[in-house]
Amino acid sequence: MTSYEATRAWADARDAADPLRSFRDEFLIPPHHGADSLYFCGNSLGLQPKAVRAAINDELDQWGTEAVEGHFRGPLPWLTYHETVREHLAEVVGARPDEVVAMNTLGVNLHLMMVSFYRPTAQRPAILIEAGAFPTDRYAVESQIRFHGFDPATALIEVEPDSEGGGISQATIERVLAEHGARIALVMLPGIQYRTGQAFDLKAIVDAAHARGCVVGFDLAHAVGNLPLQLHDSGADFAIWCSYKYLNSGPGAVGGAFVHQRHGKADLPRFAGWWGHDRATRFRMGPQFVPTPGADGWQLSNPPILALAPMRISLDIFHRAGMDRLVAKSRDLTSYLEWLVHTRLPETLDVVTPSDPTQRGAQLSIRVRAGRDAGRELFEYLMEHGIVGDWREPDVIRISPTPLYNRFSDCLGFTDAVVAWRDR
Ligand SMILES: *Cc1c(COP(=O)(O)O)cnc(C)c1O
Protein backbone atom coordinates (compact mmCIF):
# COMPACT_ATOMS: atom_id res chain seq x y z
CA MET A 1 0.00 0.00 0.00
CA THR A 2 1.52 3.29 -1.10
CA SER A 3 1.27 6.07 1.43
CA TYR A 4 0.47 9.43 0.00
CA GLU A 5 1.02 12.90 1.37
CA ALA A 6 -0.77 16.11 0.53
CA THR A 7 2.34 18.27 0.41
CA ARG A 8 4.19 20.00 -2.38
CA ALA A 9 7.48 18.43 -1.27
CA TRP A 10 6.03 14.91 -1.47
CA ALA A 11 4.39 15.48 -4.88
CA ASP A 12 7.52 17.08 -6.32
CA ALA A 13 9.64 14.19 -5.08
CA ARG A 14 7.29 11.67 -6.70
CA ASP A 15 7.46 13.61 -9.96
CA ALA A 16 11.26 13.70 -9.81
CA ALA A 17 11.36 9.92 -9.28
CA ASP A 18 8.89 9.18 -12.11
CA PRO A 19 10.60 7.09 -14.82
CA LEU A 20 8.19 8.52 -17.42
CA ARG A 21 8.66 12.17 -16.43
CA SER A 22 10.59 13.17 -19.58
CA PHE A 23 7.57 12.40 -21.80
CA ARG A 24 5.88 15.54 -20.53
CA ASP A 25 8.61 17.55 -22.30
CA GLU A 26 7.48 16.08 -25.62
CA PHE A 27 4.10 17.85 -25.36
CA LEU A 28 2.94 21.43 -25.70
CA ILE A 29 1.29 22.32 -22.38
CA PRO A 30 -1.31 25.09 -22.86
CA PRO A 31 -0.19 28.22 -20.99
CA HIS A 32 -2.26 30.13 -18.45
CA HIS A 33 -1.05 33.63 -17.54
CA GLY A 34 2.49 32.71 -18.46
CA ALA A 35 2.61 29.40 -16.53
CA ASP A 36 1.60 25.88 -17.54
CA SER A 37 -2.07 25.22 -17.05
CA LEU A 38 -3.06 22.08 -15.17
CA TYR A 39 -4.52 20.11 -18.04
CA PHE A 40 -6.80 17.24 -17.01
CA CYS A 41 -8.73 16.96 -20.26
CA GLY A 42 -6.86 14.26 -22.17
CA ASN A 43 -10.13 12.32 -22.03
CA SER A 44 -11.59 14.90 -24.41
CA LEU A 45 -8.67 16.29 -26.43
CA GLY A 46 -5.16 15.03 -25.80
CA LEU A 47 -2.28 17.51 -25.97
CA GLN A 48 -0.15 18.12 -29.02
CA PRO A 49 3.18 16.30 -29.25
CA LYS A 50 5.84 18.83 -30.22
CA ALA A 51 7.05 16.60 -33.07
CA VAL A 52 3.70 16.79 -34.85
CA ARG A 53 4.41 20.09 -36.58
CA ALA A 54 7.54 18.78 -38.31
CA ALA A 55 5.77 15.55 -39.27
CA ILE A 56 3.00 17.50 -41.01
CA ASN A 57 5.55 19.79 -42.63
CA ASP A 58 7.40 16.74 -43.99
CA GLU A 59 4.24 15.67 -45.80
CA LEU A 60 3.62 19.19 -47.09
CA ASP A 61 7.19 19.16 -48.43
CA GLN A 62 6.68 15.74 -49.96
CA TRP A 63 3.52 17.02 -51.66
CA GLY A 64 5.37 20.15 -52.85
CA THR A 65 8.39 18.37 -54.27
CA GLU A 66 7.05 14.98 -55.34
CA ALA A 67 3.37 15.67 -55.98
CA VAL A 68 1.73 12.50 -57.30
CA GLU A 69 4.99 10.58 -57.04
CA GLY A 70 4.73 11.05 -53.26
CA HIS A 71 2.51 7.99 -53.25
CA PHE A 72 5.51 5.86 -54.17
CA ARG A 73 8.62 7.82 -53.19
CA GLY A 74 10.22 9.30 -50.11
CA PRO A 75 10.82 7.86 -46.66
CA LEU A 76 7.09 7.25 -46.06
CA PRO A 77 5.27 6.71 -49.36
CA TRP A 78 1.60 7.65 -49.03
CA LEU A 79 0.45 4.42 -50.64
CA THR A 80 1.37 2.50 -47.50
CA TYR A 81 1.36 5.39 -45.02
CA HIS A 82 -1.48 4.03 -42.87
CA GLU A 83 0.58 0.89 -42.37
CA THR A 84 3.22 2.94 -40.54
CA VAL A 85 0.85 3.23 -37.58
CA ARG A 86 -0.38 -0.35 -37.62
CA GLU A 87 2.15 -2.09 -35.35
CA HIS A 88 2.01 0.52 -32.63
CA LEU A 89 -1.74 0.79 -32.80
CA ALA A 90 -1.98 -2.98 -32.40
CA GLU A 91 0.27 -2.74 -29.33
CA VAL A 92 -1.91 -0.10 -27.71
CA VAL A 93 -5.13 -2.12 -28.10
CA GLY A 94 -3.66 -5.61 -27.60
CA ALA A 95 -4.43 -6.86 -31.08
CA ARG A 96 -2.62 -8.57 -33.93
CA PRO A 97 -1.42 -6.10 -36.53
CA ASP A 98 -3.84 -7.33 -39.21
CA GLU A 99 -6.78 -6.87 -36.82
CA VAL A 100 -6.49 -3.06 -36.68
CA VAL A 101 -6.79 -0.23 -39.13
CA ALA A 102 -6.61 3.55 -38.77
CA MET A 103 -9.40 5.03 -40.89
CA ASN A 104 -12.32 7.46 -40.95
CA THR A 105 -13.71 8.67 -37.63
CA LEU A 106 -15.46 6.90 -34.78
CA GLY A 107 -19.05 7.47 -35.91
CA VAL A 108 -18.29 6.38 -39.47
CA ASN A 109 -16.48 3.27 -38.30
CA LEU A 110 -19.33 2.40 -35.96
CA HIS A 111 -21.75 2.41 -38.89
CA LEU A 112 -19.38 0.50 -41.17
CA MET A 113 -18.86 -2.17 -38.51
CA MET A 114 -22.60 -2.47 -37.91
CA VAL A 115 -23.13 -3.04 -41.62
CA SER A 116 -21.07 -6.21 -41.21
CA PHE A 117 -21.85 -7.20 -37.63
CA TYR A 118 -25.43 -6.12 -36.99
CA ARG A 119 -27.45 -8.63 -39.00
CA PRO A 120 -30.88 -8.54 -37.37
CA THR A 121 -33.56 -11.14 -37.99
CA ALA A 122 -37.21 -11.23 -36.92
CA GLN A 123 -36.25 -13.53 -34.03
CA ARG A 124 -33.10 -11.62 -33.14
CA PRO A 125 -33.52 -7.94 -33.98
CA ALA A 126 -32.19 -6.17 -30.90
CA ILE A 127 -29.10 -4.17 -29.92
CA LEU A 128 -28.02 -3.89 -26.29
CA ILE A 129 -26.36 -0.66 -25.13
CA GLU A 130 -25.93 1.04 -21.78
CA ALA A 131 -28.49 3.59 -20.60
CA GLY A 132 -27.04 7.08 -20.91
CA ALA A 133 -24.76 6.09 -23.79
CA PHE A 134 -22.80 8.79 -25.62
CA PRO A 135 -25.20 10.46 -28.08
CA THR A 136 -23.49 9.31 -31.27
CA ASP A 137 -23.61 5.70 -30.15
CA ARG A 138 -27.29 5.90 -29.35
CA TYR A 139 -28.12 7.73 -32.58
CA ALA A 140 -26.07 5.25 -34.59
CA VAL A 141 -27.64 2.10 -33.17
CA GLU A 142 -31.13 3.57 -33.29
CA SER A 143 -30.74 4.59 -36.92
CA GLN A 144 -29.36 1.17 -37.83
CA ILE A 145 -32.33 -0.51 -36.18
CA ARG A 146 -34.71 1.68 -38.20
CA PHE A 147 -32.67 1.18 -41.36
CA HIS A 148 -33.28 -2.57 -41.06
CA GLY A 149 -37.01 -1.97 -40.63
CA PHE A 150 -37.23 -2.63 -36.90
CA ASP A 151 -38.58 -0.45 -34.11
CA PRO A 152 -36.17 0.93 -31.49
CA ALA A 153 -39.04 0.85 -28.97
CA THR A 154 -38.64 -2.92 -28.87
CA ALA A 155 -35.27 -3.54 -30.55
CA LEU A 156 -33.14 -1.14 -28.51
CA ILE A 157 -32.42 -2.54 -25.05
CA GLU A 158 -30.65 -0.32 -22.54
CA VAL A 159 -28.93 -1.71 -19.42
CA GLU A 160 -29.79 0.52 -16.50
CA PRO A 161 -27.18 1.42 -13.86
CA ASP A 162 -27.40 -0.55 -10.64
CA SER A 163 -25.18 1.57 -8.41
CA GLU A 164 -25.65 5.02 -6.95
CA GLY A 165 -22.79 6.46 -8.97
CA GLY A 166 -24.35 5.22 -12.23
CA GLY A 167 -22.20 2.10 -12.51
CA ILE A 168 -23.37 -1.10 -14.21
CA SER A 169 -22.19 -4.40 -12.73
CA GLN A 170 -21.27 -7.49 -14.71
CA ALA A 171 -24.03 -9.33 -12.83
CA THR A 172 -26.61 -6.88 -14.18
CA ILE A 173 -25.29 -7.21 -17.73
CA GLU A 174 -25.56 -10.98 -17.39
CA ARG A 175 -29.07 -10.73 -15.97
CA VAL A 176 -30.18 -8.66 -18.97
CA LEU A 177 -28.49 -11.14 -21.31
CA ALA A 178 -30.21 -14.04 -19.58
CA GLU A 179 -33.57 -12.31 -20.00
CA HIS A 180 -33.22 -10.88 -23.53
CA GLY A 181 -30.18 -12.65 -25.02
CA ALA A 182 -32.13 -14.74 -27.51
CA ARG A 183 -33.51 -11.54 -29.06
CA ILE A 184 -30.20 -9.65 -29.08
CA ALA A 185 -28.23 -9.54 -32.34
CA LEU A 186 -25.54 -7.14 -31.12
CA VAL A 187 -24.13 -6.14 -27.74
CA MET A 188 -22.52 -2.71 -28.12
CA LEU A 189 -20.91 -1.41 -24.92
CA PRO A 190 -18.14 1.05 -24.07
CA GLY A 191 -14.68 0.19 -22.79
CA ILE A 192 -15.13 3.09 -20.40
CA GLN A 193 -18.44 4.85 -19.84
CA TYR A 194 -17.76 8.48 -20.67
CA ARG A 195 -19.82 10.07 -17.91
CA THR A 196 -19.09 7.77 -14.96
CA GLY A 197 -15.56 6.71 -15.93
CA GLN A 198 -16.42 3.06 -15.23
CA ALA A 199 -14.27 0.52 -17.10
CA PHE A 200 -15.94 -2.69 -18.22
CA ASP A 201 -14.48 -6.20 -18.25
CA LEU A 202 -14.47 -6.78 -22.00
CA LYS A 203 -13.67 -10.48 -21.90
CA ALA A 204 -16.37 -11.22 -19.32
CA ILE A 205 -18.91 -9.35 -21.47
CA VAL A 206 -17.82 -11.17 -24.64
CA ASP A 207 -18.01 -14.57 -22.94
CA ALA A 208 -21.47 -13.91 -21.53
CA ALA A 209 -22.80 -12.46 -24.78
CA HIS A 210 -21.31 -15.11 -27.07
CA ALA A 211 -22.84 -17.78 -24.82
CA ARG A 212 -26.23 -16.29 -25.78
CA GLY A 213 -25.36 -16.17 -29.46
CA CYS A 214 -24.90 -12.37 -29.63
CA VAL A 215 -22.23 -10.53 -31.59
CA VAL A 216 -20.16 -8.11 -29.47
CA GLY A 217 -18.64 -4.75 -30.38
CA PHE A 218 -17.00 -2.15 -28.16
CA ASP A 219 -16.71 1.61 -28.36
CA LEU A 220 -13.24 2.31 -27.01
CA ALA A 221 -13.30 6.11 -27.33
CA HIS A 222 -12.31 6.57 -23.67
CA ALA A 223 -10.40 3.32 -23.32
CA VAL A 224 -7.81 3.40 -26.09
CA GLY A 225 -4.45 4.68 -24.86
CA ASN A 226 -5.89 4.57 -21.34
CA LEU A 227 -6.73 1.00 -20.30
CA PRO A 228 -4.52 -2.09 -20.67
CA LEU A 229 -6.57 -3.54 -23.54
CA GLN A 230 -6.28 -7.13 -24.80
CA LEU A 231 -8.71 -6.95 -27.68
CA HIS A 232 -7.65 -10.11 -29.44
CA ASP A 233 -7.81 -12.23 -26.30
CA SER A 234 -11.11 -10.66 -25.27
CA GLY A 235 -12.65 -12.35 -28.31
CA ALA A 236 -14.65 -9.24 -29.23
CA ASP A 237 -16.00 -9.35 -32.76
CA PHE A 238 -15.14 -5.73 -33.48
CA ALA A 239 -14.26 -2.44 -31.82
CA ILE A 240 -14.04 1.20 -32.87
CA TRP A 241 -12.45 4.29 -31.37
CA CYS A 242 -11.37 7.86 -31.94
CA SER A 243 -7.78 9.02 -31.58
CA TYR A 244 -8.05 12.60 -30.37
CA LYS A 245 -8.67 11.72 -26.70
CA TYR A 246 -5.95 9.76 -24.87
CA LEU A 247 -4.20 8.97 -28.17
CA ASN A 248 -3.25 12.64 -28.66
CA SER A 249 -3.62 12.55 -32.44
CA GLY A 250 -5.27 15.96 -32.83
CA PRO A 251 -8.74 17.45 -33.20
CA GLY A 252 -10.93 15.33 -35.46
CA ALA A 253 -8.10 12.79 -35.81
CA VAL A 254 -8.42 9.64 -37.88
CA GLY A 255 -10.25 6.96 -35.88
CA GLY A 256 -9.62 3.24 -35.69
CA ALA A 257 -11.27 -0.13 -35.97
CA PHE A 258 -10.55 -3.66 -34.80
CA VAL A 259 -11.93 -6.73 -36.53
CA HIS A 260 -11.14 -10.01 -34.83
CA GLN A 261 -8.87 -12.29 -36.82
CA ARG A 262 -11.57 -14.96 -37.14
CA HIS A 263 -13.58 -12.52 -39.28
CA GLY A 264 -10.61 -11.20 -41.25
CA LYS A 265 -11.06 -13.53 -44.20
CA ALA A 266 -14.76 -14.17 -43.78
CA ASP A 267 -17.12 -13.23 -46.55
CA LEU A 268 -19.01 -10.67 -44.49
CA PRO A 269 -21.37 -8.17 -46.06
CA ARG A 270 -19.77 -4.75 -46.04
CA PHE A 271 -19.85 -1.35 -47.67
CA ALA A 272 -16.86 -1.51 -49.97
CA GLY A 273 -14.40 0.98 -51.42
CA TRP A 274 -11.26 0.70 -53.52
CA TRP A 275 -8.88 1.04 -50.57
CA GLY A 276 -10.36 -2.10 -49.02
CA HIS A 277 -9.67 -4.06 -52.20
CA ASP A 278 -6.91 -6.66 -52.25
CA ARG A 279 -3.71 -4.66 -52.33
CA ALA A 280 -2.05 -6.90 -54.88
CA THR A 281 -4.67 -6.18 -57.51
CA ARG A 282 -6.10 -2.81 -56.41
CA PHE A 283 -4.53 -0.88 -59.24
CA ARG A 284 -5.79 -3.20 -61.94
CA MET A 285 -8.97 -1.24 -61.29
CA GLY A 286 -11.19 -4.25 -61.99
CA PRO A 287 -14.96 -4.19 -61.50
CA GLN A 288 -15.04 -7.05 -58.95
CA PHE A 289 -14.42 -6.16 -55.28
CA VAL A 290 -12.05 -8.59 -53.57
CA PRO A 291 -11.49 -7.54 -49.94
CA THR A 292 -7.97 -7.44 -48.64
CA PRO A 293 -7.72 -9.77 -45.62
CA GLY A 294 -7.98 -8.32 -42.13
CA ALA A 295 -9.29 -5.01 -40.87
CA ASP A 296 -7.79 -3.24 -43.91
CA GLY A 297 -10.57 -4.78 -45.98
CA TRP A 298 -13.05 -2.32 -44.43
CA GLN A 299 -11.26 0.78 -45.74
CA LEU A 300 -13.13 2.88 -48.23
CA SER A 301 -10.81 5.67 -49.30
CA ASN A 302 -7.16 6.47 -49.55
CA PRO A 303 -6.28 7.91 -46.17
CA PRO A 304 -5.81 11.58 -45.20
CA ILE A 305 -2.02 11.74 -44.90
CA LEU A 306 -1.91 15.13 -43.16
CA ALA A 307 -4.25 13.75 -40.49
CA LEU A 308 -2.33 10.50 -40.07
CA ALA A 309 0.99 12.29 -39.52
CA PRO A 310 0.12 13.31 -35.91
CA MET A 311 -1.02 9.78 -35.14
CA ARG A 312 2.28 8.35 -36.33
CA ILE A 313 4.11 10.68 -33.93
CA SER A 314 1.73 10.01 -31.06
CA LEU A 315 1.82 6.23 -31.40
CA ASP A 316 5.60 6.34 -31.47
CA ILE A 317 5.43 8.02 -28.05
CA PHE A 318 3.11 5.28 -26.77
CA HIS A 319 5.47 2.66 -28.14
CA ARG A 320 8.47 4.18 -26.34
CA ALA A 321 6.60 4.70 -23.08
CA GLY A 322 4.88 1.27 -23.22
CA MET A 323 1.29 0.64 -22.16
CA ASP A 324 2.40 -1.39 -19.12
CA ARG A 325 4.40 1.48 -17.65
CA LEU A 326 1.73 4.00 -18.60
CA VAL A 327 -1.02 1.98 -16.93
CA ALA A 328 1.07 1.53 -13.77
CA LYS A 329 1.69 5.27 -13.52
CA SER A 330 -1.90 6.08 -14.44
CA ARG A 331 -3.27 3.94 -11.61
CA ASP A 332 -0.90 5.59 -9.19
CA LEU A 333 -1.74 9.13 -10.35
CA THR A 334 -5.49 8.60 -10.29
CA SER A 335 -5.34 6.85 -6.93
CA TYR A 336 -3.41 9.83 -5.59
CA LEU A 337 -6.02 12.22 -6.95
CA GLU A 338 -8.78 10.12 -5.38
CA TRP A 339 -6.93 9.98 -2.06
CA LEU A 340 -6.47 13.77 -2.11
CA VAL A 341 -10.17 14.31 -2.77
CA HIS A 342 -11.22 11.91 -0.01
CA THR A 343 -8.67 13.29 2.45
CA ARG A 344 -8.90 17.02 1.81
CA LEU A 345 -12.45 17.46 0.51
CA PRO A 346 -14.63 14.77 2.09
CA GLU A 347 -17.55 17.14 2.72
CA THR A 348 -17.23 18.92 -0.62
CA LEU A 349 -16.80 16.39 -3.42
CA ASP A 350 -18.05 12.91 -4.25
CA VAL A 351 -16.23 10.64 -6.67
CA VAL A 352 -18.68 8.84 -8.96
CA THR A 353 -16.08 6.63 -10.66
CA PRO A 354 -15.42 3.18 -9.14
CA SER A 355 -12.58 3.17 -6.61
CA ASP A 356 -11.29 -0.21 -7.79
CA PRO A 357 -8.35 0.72 -10.08
CA THR A 358 -9.19 -2.16 -12.44
CA GLN A 359 -12.67 -0.68 -12.97
CA ARG A 360 -11.51 2.68 -14.22
CA GLY A 361 -8.84 4.42 -16.27
CA ALA A 362 -7.32 7.85 -15.72
CA GLN A 363 -10.62 9.67 -15.28
CA LEU A 364 -12.40 10.56 -12.07
CA SER A 365 -15.93 11.86 -12.45
CA ILE A 366 -16.62 14.22 -9.58
CA ARG A 367 -19.81 15.72 -8.20
CA VAL A 368 -20.07 18.68 -5.88
CA ARG A 369 -22.17 17.74 -2.84
CA ALA A 370 -23.86 21.11 -2.74
CA GLY A 371 -25.50 20.33 -6.10
CA ARG A 372 -25.43 21.13 -9.77
CA ASP A 373 -25.20 24.92 -9.53
CA ALA A 374 -22.28 24.74 -7.12
CA GLY A 375 -20.69 22.17 -9.43
CA ARG A 376 -21.01 24.48 -12.39
CA GLU A 377 -19.56 27.33 -10.31
CA LEU A 378 -16.57 25.23 -9.25
CA PHE A 379 -15.98 24.17 -12.83
CA GLU A 380 -15.90 27.78 -14.00
CA TYR A 381 -13.65 28.78 -11.08
CA LEU A 382 -11.20 26.03 -12.06
CA MET A 383 -11.18 27.09 -15.71
CA GLU A 384 -10.51 30.72 -14.68
CA HIS A 385 -7.55 29.49 -12.66
CA GLY A 386 -6.05 27.48 -15.51
CA ILE A 387 -7.24 24.09 -14.31
CA VAL A 388 -8.79 22.37 -17.29
CA GLY A 389 -11.28 19.56 -16.82
CA ASP A 390 -14.62 19.22 -18.52
CA TRP A 391 -18.25 19.44 -17.57
CA ARG A 392 -20.76 16.76 -18.48
CA GLU A 393 -24.44 17.36 -17.93
CA PRO A 394 -26.18 17.14 -15.64
CA ASP A 395 -23.62 17.55 -12.85
CA VAL A 396 -20.29 15.87 -13.48
CA ILE A 397 -16.80 17.39 -13.61
CA ARG A 398 -14.37 15.03 -15.29
CA ILE A 399 -10.72 15.22 -14.21
CA SER A 400 -8.29 12.91 -15.97
CA PRO A 401 -4.63 12.92 -15.01
CA THR A 402 -2.94 11.19 -17.93
CA PRO A 403 0.38 9.44 -17.40
CA LEU A 404 2.18 10.87 -20.44
CA TYR A 405 2.04 14.50 -19.37
CA ASN A 406 0.38 14.88 -15.96
CA ARG A 407 2.23 14.97 -12.66
CA PHE A 408 1.50 14.19 -9.03
CA SER A 409 1.93 17.90 -8.35
CA ASP A 410 -0.88 18.61 -10.86
CA CYS A 411 -3.25 16.47 -8.78
CA LEU A 412 -2.20 18.36 -5.67
CA GLY A 413 -2.75 21.65 -7.52
CA PHE A 414 -6.28 20.59 -8.42
CA THR A 415 -7.23 19.94 -4.79
CA ASP A 416 -5.44 23.15 -3.69
CA ALA A 417 -7.73 25.04 -6.04
CA VAL A 418 -10.90 23.28 -4.84
CA VAL A 419 -9.92 24.02 -1.22
CA ALA A 420 -9.40 27.69 -2.14
CA TRP A 421 -12.81 27.77 -3.86
CA ARG A 422 -14.50 26.13 -0.88
CA ASP A 423 -12.85 28.55 1.60
CA ARG A 424 -13.13 31.70 -0.54
C1 LIG B 1 -15.78 10.94 -28.07
C2 LIG B 1 -16.81 9.91 -28.34
C3 LIG B 1 -17.44 9.85 -29.59
C4 LIG B 1 -17.15 10.86 -30.66
O5 LIG B 1 -17.40 10.36 -31.94
P6 LIG B 1 -16.76 11.05 -33.24
O7 LIG B 1 -17.34 10.27 -34.34
O8 LIG B 1 -15.26 10.93 -33.11
O9 LIG B 1 -17.15 12.49 -33.24
C10 LIG B 1 -18.39 8.85 -29.77
N11 LIG B 1 -18.69 7.95 -28.80
C12 LIG B 1 -18.08 8.00 -27.59
C13 LIG B 1 -18.43 7.00 -26.54
C14 LIG B 1 -17.14 8.99 -27.33
O15 LIG B 1 -16.56 9.03 -26.14
> Over the Cα atoms of the chain, what is R_g?
22
Using the mean position of ligand 1's atoms as its centre, give its distance from the Cα of residue 213 in Å.
27
CA-proximal residue: ligand 1, atom 10 (nearest): 136
Question: Would strands 27-28 and 349-351 be described as parallel, antiparallel, or unpaired?
Answer: unpaired
Query: Hey, CA dihedral for 266, 272, 276, 277, is it positive or negative?
Result: positive
Using the mean position of ligand 1's atoms as its centre, give its distance from the Cα of residue 178 in Å.
29
pLDDT band at 58 (very low <50, low <70, confident <90, very high): very high
- How far the first Cα of the chain sits from its last, in Å, is 34
Using the mean position of ligand 1's atoms as its centre, give its distance from the Cα of residue 372 in Å.
25
State if residue 219 touches ligand 1 by the CB under 6 angstroms criterion. Answer: yes
How far apart are alpha carbons 145 and 228 in whole angstroms?
A: 32
How far apart are alpha carbons 79 and 238 in whole angstroms?
A: 25
Choice from 114, 194, 196, 363 to test ligand 1 binding pocket (greatest atom count within 8 A of CB)? 194
**Residue 215 near residue 237, CB atoms below 8 Å:** yes
**CA 282 to chain centroid:** 32
Q: What are the backbone dihedrals phi and psi of residue 48, each rounded to the nearest 5 degrees, phi first?
A: -85, 120
Using the mean position of ligand 1's atoms as its centre, give its distance from the Cα of residue 251 in Å.
12
Choice from 113, 114, 136, 311 to test ligand 1 binding pocket (greatest atom count within 8 A of CB)? 136
Q: What angle do CA 25, 311, 411 make, to 5 degrees?
A: 40
State if residue 134 touches ligand 1 by the CB under 6 angstroms criterion. Answer: yes
Looking from the CA of residue 110, the nearest atom of ligand 1 is 7
Question: At 16, which helix (H) or strand (E)?
Answer: helix 8-16
Looking from the CA of residue 108, the nearest atom of ligand 1 is 7
List of residues 6+ apart from 195 with CB closer than 8 A:
132, 166, 365, 392, 396
Inform me whether the pLDDT recorded for 213 exceeds 90: yes
CA-proximal residue: ligand 1, atom 8 (nearest): 106
56, 216, 249, 304 from 267: Cα distances, Å:
37, 18, 32, 27
Q: How would DSSP label each residue in 247-282?
A: T---TT---EEEE-GGGTTS-------GGGB-GGGG
pLDDT band at 2 (very low <50, low <70, confident <90, very high): low
| Amino acid letter for position 60 | L
Query: How many Cβ atoms from other residues are within 10 Å of residue 381's Cβ?
Result: 15
How far apart are alpha carbons 385 and 373 in whole angstroms?
A: 18
State if residue 136 touches ligand 1 by the CB under 6 angstroms criterion. Answer: yes
CA-proximal residue: ligand 1, atom 2 (nearest): 221
Residues 147-168: pLDDT tens digits?
Answer: 999 999 999 999 999 998 899 9
pLDDT band at 282 (very low <50, low <70, confident <90, very high): confident
State if residue 194 touches ligand 1 by the CB under 6 angstroms criterion. Answer: yes
Looking from the CA of residue 137, the nearest atom of ligand 1 is 11
pLDDT band at 237 (very low <50, low <70, confident <90, very high): very high
State if residue 106 touches ligand 1 by the CB under 6 angstroms criterion. Answer: yes
- If we measure between CA atoms, which residue out of 318, 328, 396 comes closest to residue 362? 328
- If we measure between CA atoms, which residue out of 52, 44, 12 comes closest to residue 28? 52
- If we measure between CA atoms, which residue out of 148, 137, 292 comes closest to residue 218? 137
Using the mean position of ligand 1's atoms as its centre, give its distance from the Cα of residue 307 in Å.
17
- Full-prediction pTM beyond 0.85? yes
| 15 class by beta-carbon count within 10 Å (0-12 exposed, 13-18 middle, 19+ buried) | middle
Residues 305-353: pLDDT tens digits?
Answer: 999 999 999 999 999 999 999 999 999 999 999 999 999 999 999 999 9
CA-proximal residue: ligand 1, atom 6 (nearest): 106
How far apart are alpha carbons 418 and 424 in whole angstroms?
A: 10
**Residue 4 near residue 339, CB atoms below 8 Å:** yes
Residues 79-116: pLDDT tens digits?
Answer: 999 889 999 999 999 999 999 999 999 999 999 999 99
Looking from the CA of residue 194, the nearest atom of ligand 1 is 15
Half-sphere exposure for 352 (CA within 13 Å, toward CB): 25
Inform me whether the pLDDT recorded for 46 exceeds 70: yes
| 180 class by beta-carbon count within 10 Å (0-12 exposed, 13-18 middle, 19+ buried) | middle
Q: What structural domains and CATH numbers belong to the chain?
A: 8-48+323-422 (3.90.1150.10), 56-319 (3.40.640.10)
| Amino acid letter for position 198 | Q
- Length in residues, the chain: 424
How far apart are alpha carbons 36 and 316 in whole angstroms?
A: 24
Half-sphere exposure for 130 (CA within 13 Å, toward CB): 27
| Amino acid letter for position 169 | S
pLDDT computed for residue 231 by the predictor:
98
**Residue 131 near residue 267, CB atoms below 8 Å:** no
Q: What are the backbone dihedrals phi and psi of residue 376, each rounded to the nearest 5 degrees, phi first?
A: -65, -40
- The predicted model gives 171-175 an average pLDDT of 98
Inform me whether the pLDDT recorded for 376 exceeds 60: yes
